[in-house]
């Protein structure tokens, strides 16, 4: 397992133009490169193969793309910056327009904020009739928890995204109210896993969903989870503008803020 991860890391370094055995560059330690204006204009769909995808991930991707041909399955696109109709609807109905212009200009989707192969590589396929989704996920080296394995928070994030997408297909604008996860086996870093999610029950505004995470050969069950997602009520707009401006008023100098106030770290 560790050997395959090392191989994965080696190919990732190769992709980034780094020679094996070369001294570690200080740039390797820096956070993922941030792009703003150009990417916003391009609206690249990130749920498509890139050179960091392993053979397993590409194979599974091709199999599901074949299933899409008769219309029973569809690939869900994924963007760093909001541009799907669902995201636009969310901003229109639930957020203050001024906040969208000012406060969210640098915002990007958490799971798409890493360079190719280093973080979350995934694609989600949806089967509308069966009310289920399949998420193909390869967790990169920046998602490490215990050496050689994925961080539990990274797994939880992927579960949230997979279950959330399954719920959003039926429910539209939704938010996670509850997640319950059983971590049964550690997930090897850089391996490919399959997250199978399904909508179990729809009760008013409540969507009950569940999923399991398995190895590609289906022999290993890594995790099982259930989630409750709530369809948002347009009458209850989120007033995060007030929250932001009250933070701005109370903001101490940055160095002080980073040390003393976790809320301000989020704000920055």
Ligand X SMILES: CCCCCCCC/C=C\CCCCCCCC(=O)SCCNC(=O)CCNC(=O)[C@H](O)C(C)(C)COP(=O)(O)OP(=O)(O)OC[C@H]1O[C@@H](n2cnc3c(N)ncnc32)[C@H](O)[C@@H]1OP(=O)(O)O
CB 260 → ligand X: shortest distance, Å? Answer: 24
Instruction: Map residue 212 onto helix, strand or coil.
Output: strand
CB 148 → ligand X: shortest distance, Å? Answer: 27
Binding mask 41-80 for ligand X (x = CB under 6 A): -----------------------------------x----
**Interface with ligand X includes 170 (CB under 6 A)?**
no
- Alpha carbon dihedral 264, 265, 267, 268, in 10-degree steps, equals 120
Residue with smaller CB distance to ligand X, 144 or 176: 176
**Interface with ligand X includes 209 (CB under 6 A)?**
no
- Binding residue for ligand X, selected from 67, 206, 244, 267, defined by CB under 6 A: 206
Of 130-169, binders to ligand X (CB under 6 A) are: 160-161, 164-165, 168-169
**Interface with ligand X includes 171 (CB under 6 A)?**
no
Token digits of residue 131: 């009310």
DSSP 155: H
**φ, ψ (nearest 5 deg) of residue 18:** -105, 130
CB 47 → ligand X: shortest distance, Å? Answer: 10
CA angle 113, 117, 104 (to 5 degrees): 5
Residue with smaller CB distance to ligand X, 59 or 181: 181
Of 232-261, binders to ligand X (CB under 6 A) are: 232-233, 236
Residue with smaller CB distance to ligand X, 235 or 249: 235
DSSP, residue by residue, 24-92: PPGGGGSPPPP--HHHHHH----SS--TT--HHHHHHHHHHHHHHTTTS-EEEP--SS--SHHHHHHHH
Provide the β-strand partners of residue 240.
none
Interface with ligand X (CB under 6 A), residue total 20
Interacting span for ligand X (CB under 6 A) from 28-36, 135-143, 218-226, 228-236 = 228-236
70 is catalytic: no
Instruction: Give me the catalytic one of 89, 116, 160, 200.
Output: 160
Cα gap 192→75, rounded to integer Å: 18
Cα gap 238→41, rounded to integer Å: 27
Nearest to 48 by CA among 122, 119, 135, 111: 122
Q: Tell me the torsion sign for CA atoms 185, 177, 163, 165.
A: negative
- Binding residue for ligand X, selected from 156, 175, 202, 240, defined by CB under 6 A: 175
Residue with smaller CB distance to ligand X, 177 or 250: 177
Beta carbons within 10 angstroms of residue 209's beta carbon: 30
Residue with smaller CB distance to ligand X, 178 or 246: 178
- Binding residue for ligand X, selected from 230, 240, 247, 251, defined by CB under 6 A: 230
Provide the β-strand partners of residue 180.
226
- Binding residue for ligand X, selected from 205, 242, 246, 265, defined by CB under 6 A: 205
Using CB under 6 A, list all residues that contact ligand X. Answer: 76, 86, 160-161, 164-165, 168-169, 175-178, 204-206, 228, 230, 232-233, 236
Enzyme catalytic residues: 160
């Amino acid at each position: 397992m560790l050997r395959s991860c090392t191989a994965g890391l080696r190919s990732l370094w190769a992709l980034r133009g780094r020679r094996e055995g070369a001294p570690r560059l200080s740039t390797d330690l820096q956070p993922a490169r941030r792009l703003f204006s150009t990417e916003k204009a391009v609206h690249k769909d990130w749920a498509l193969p890139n050179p960091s995808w392993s053979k397993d991930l590409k194979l599974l991707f091709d199999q599901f793309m074949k299933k899409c041909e008769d219309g029973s399955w569809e690939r869900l696109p994924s963007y760093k910056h909001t541009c799907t109709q669902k995201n636009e609807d969310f901003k229109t109905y639930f957020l203050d327009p001024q906040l969208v212009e000012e406060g969210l200009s640098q915002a990007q989707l958490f799971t798409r904020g890493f360079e190719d192969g280093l973080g979350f590589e995934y694609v989600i396929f949806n089967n509308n009739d069966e009310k289920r989704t399949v998420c193909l996920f390869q967790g990169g080296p920046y998602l490490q928890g215990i050496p050689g394995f994925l961080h539990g928070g990274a797994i939880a994030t992927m579960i949230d995204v997979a279950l959330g997408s399954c719920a959003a297909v039926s429910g539209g604008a939704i938010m996670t109210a509850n997640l319950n996860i059983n971590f049964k086996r550690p997930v090897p870093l850089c391996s490919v896993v399959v997250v199978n999610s399904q909508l179990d029950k729809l009760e008013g505004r409540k969507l009950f969903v569940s999923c399991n995470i398995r190895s590609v050969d289906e022999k290993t069950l890594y995790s099982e989870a259930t989630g409750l997602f709530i369809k948002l009520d347009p009458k209850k707009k989120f007033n995060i503008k007030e929250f932001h401006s009250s933070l701005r008023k109370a903001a101490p100098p940055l160095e002080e803020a980073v040390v003393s106030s976790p809320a301000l770290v989020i704000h920055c």
